[in-house]
Amino acid sequence: MIFEVAADHAGHVNALLAFSPGEYLGDPDEVAKAAARVQVPIYVTSSSSADEVGAARTILSASPARTKIQYEPKYGVHGSSTLIETRNPKGAAENWVHVLSFLGALSVPPS
């Protein structure tokens, strides 16, 4: 869903973070089609399962964005819960390091 929002509101989105993106919306390529319209910097991560890592890779590869980061965590859980220590005690801190590194590297113009 976040890829569709970013694609539909391109002038209002500076970057995109996606946690465990996958083709969960019905049409088997709906998210990848939306990702193909996203040109802002993208960061994706997932759980550490091979299926989720592969789904995230497929969606990310559809985007023409120049900056595309996929973090494959050693310890990760599905969705943004990967950043919550009680949900991901072994990996939350490391996952935050990567998210904050991506955000820190963005050059966002002042409003």
Each residue's pLDDT tens digit, 53-86:
999 999 999 999 999 999 999 999 999 999 999 9
Whether the Cβ atoms of residue 90 and residue 81 lie closer than 8 Å to each other: no
pLDDT at residue 28 in the model: 84
pLDDT bucket at 109, cuts 50 / 70 / 90: low
Alpha-carbon gap, residue 105 to 9, rounded angstroms: 22
Per-domain boundaries in the chain: 2-105
What's residue 24's pLDDT?
A: 84
Q: Find the helix or strand (DSSP H, E) in which 15 lies.
A: none
Q: What is the pTM of this model?
A: 0.90
Q: What is the pLDDT of residues 5-57, one digit of tens each?
A: 999 999 999 999 999 998 888 888 999 999 999 999 999 999 999 999 999 99
Do 54 and 66 contact (CB within 8 A), yes or no? Answer: no
